[in-house]
Amino acid sequence: MVLTTTDFDTIAAISTPPGEGGISIIRISGDDAVEVAQRLYRGKNLTKVDTNTINYGHIVDSQTGDDIDEVMVSVMRAPKTYTKENIVEINCHGGIVATNRILQLVLSNGARLAEPGEFTKRAFLNGRIDLSQSEAVMDLIEAKTDRSMKVAISQLDGNLSHLIRNLRQDILDVLAQVEVNIDYPEYDDVETMTSRLLREKAIKVHGQIDELLQTAKQGKILRDGLATSIIGRPNVGKSSLLNHLIHEDKAIVTDVPGTTRDVLEEYVNVRGVPLKLIDTAGIRDTEDKVEKIGVDRSKKAIDSSDLVLLVLNVSEPLTDEDRTLINLTAAKQRIVVLNKTDLTPKIDLVELRQLVGTSPIISTSAIQASGLEDLEEIIAHMFFNEGIENSQNDVVVTNARHIGLLNQANQSLKAVVDGLESGLPVDLVQIDMTHCWDLLGEITGDSYQDELLDQLFSQFCLGK
């Protein structure tokens, strides 16, 4: 259902991050947005200015007559706006006091405080964007690399929506044909023809959804980041490796074993792959209570990791602790990092290769910053093989909700094929095909429940 702007009141919120800055923006949306702004603005009459103009003036407290701030006010009239409602944006000097004071004046002059994500929710309800595009707005805001930004923009442009709607139309066409065949069974072989039609379409759409789901693993990494644990016994150079990857001295580096007592997390862009790097406490047997807690957390970090960087000291022979860590990470995607190559190597490479199997082994020196580019290249190829970089126009599924719905849709299509092969009547099999059509509609918001909207948009920041 598409609502019109007359169904909504006028809302306002701060659309820029809190704190000191060059400017702050207070956004107002609704039928009375221009009138509300005019009540506290001294300058041109905003109700008479052209749309898509920005106007210089002052915000004034009408009760005290005090000037609050010197501002630029943008006026954008429906329907060619983000929400398809009248929108006013007050650009004031950045700062908590001035920004909040102006917002309070806006609220006391006829607007109410917007709920999280309510501007984007109105854009959806007013038909400007669909639900998958709405979710892409947040993906774009939270994008951690150029690749994840490109995928979000592609979805915001409607590429995923277009593909999903084409699939739904294919299903709708076959459902309409089935209805005709059921209602007008003039021919003896109509049921055979209808069954074949349903089966062929179910298999075709199932294959197209499968192709889409094949991008889900990479898409999820682009959206959420690749949870990457840096594991090793104490003093092998884990913190130095973290600092070099993030280009910042965030972790304390000393030659004292056990310096890192807790788990440190940091996002880093590695060849377009967003890594959520986790520098863990060195894993060893210890009687130190604080260090022991860190070791326990390190072991939990391994379990939740998508990738493990197992750091070994190349200048020392393998220890029992090293062998334990090799076994502990055997089931994980793993890269073995032989650190401290600036020192004389003493590690047994033959034994190491036997222990780690096919896991890539890379030599580095965190102190000399050597080998790190090779490490980044291995990470990128392990998870992407440059696929997304070379196919920027392809649709990539990044959203867990979309992935779940696509999997359910495929289950319904499988039920169609299984039902036909087991001899179920066509009108019963048709129910599963219709269910698939409904599930795909939930991705774009062509079918939705109010509870879903409330849950989705509550995750947005205030003012978006």
For residue 88, what are its two tokens? Answer: 């006013």
Q: How far is residue 79 from each of residues 114, 137, 217, 437, measured CA to CA in Å?
A: 20, 20, 38, 31
Q: Which of 93, 114, 106 is nearest to 38 (CA)?
A: 106
- Residue 80 backbone phi and psi in degrees, to 5: -90, 65
Per-residue pLDDT tens over the stretch 184-232: 555 555 567 788 889 999 999 999 999 999 888 888 888 878 888 888 8
Instruction: Based on the fold, state whether residues 25 and 69 are members of the same structural domain.
Output: yes
Instruction: Based on the fold, state whether residues 271 and 363 are members of the same structural domain.
Output: yes
The stretches of 109-231 forming alpha helices (DSSP H) are 118-125, 131-141, 146-156, 159-183, 190-213, 216-224
| Unique residue bearing structure tokens 């659309």 | 15
Query: What is the layout of strands, in order, in the sheet containing 226-231?
Result: 264-270, 273-279, 226-231, 307-313, 334-339, 361-363
The reply to whether 456 falls in a domain is no
Per-residue pLDDT tens over the stretch 261-280: 344 567 788 877 788 887 66
Domain boundary among 389, 417, 435: 389
State how far the Cα of 72 lies from the Cα of 55, in Å rounded to an integer.
5
Q: How many C-beta atoms lie closer than 10 Å to residue 407's C-beta?
A: 13
Q: Above pLDDT 70, what percent of the chain?
A: 86
Q: How many C-beta atoms lie closer than 10 Å to residue 411's C-beta?
A: 14
Domain boundary among 129, 164, 197: 129
Q: Confirm if 329 and 335 have CB atoms less than 8 A apart.
A: no
- Split into its structural domains, the chain has a count of 3
Per-residue pLDDT tens over the stretch 318-337: 998 889 889 888 988 999 99
- For residue 425, give its domain range: 141-215+396-445
State how far the Cα of 12 lies from the Cα of 122, in Å rounded to an integer.
13
Residue 7's pLDDT is 60
Of the two residues 180 and 236, the one the predictor is more confident about is 236
- CA dihedral over 434, 201, 176, 447, signed as positive or negative: positive
Instruction: Based on the fold, state whether residues 368 and 274 are members of the same structural domain.
Output: yes
The reply to whether 366 falls in a domain is yes
Residue 241's pLDDT is 83
Instruction: Based on the fold, state whether residues 368 and 321 are members of the same structural domain.
Output: yes
Instruction: Based on the fold, state whether residues 120 and 37 are members of the same structural domain.
Output: yes
Instruction: Based on the fold, state whether residues 371 and 405 are members of the same structural domain.
Output: no
- Length of the chain equals 464
Instruction: Based on the fold, state whether residues 433 and 349 are members of the same structural domain.
Output: no
Q: Is 29 helix (H, G, I), strand (E, B) or coil?
A: strand
Give the confidence band of 254 by pLDDT, cuts at 50, 70, 90.
very low
Q: Confirm if 113 and 50 have CB atoms less than 8 A apart.
A: no
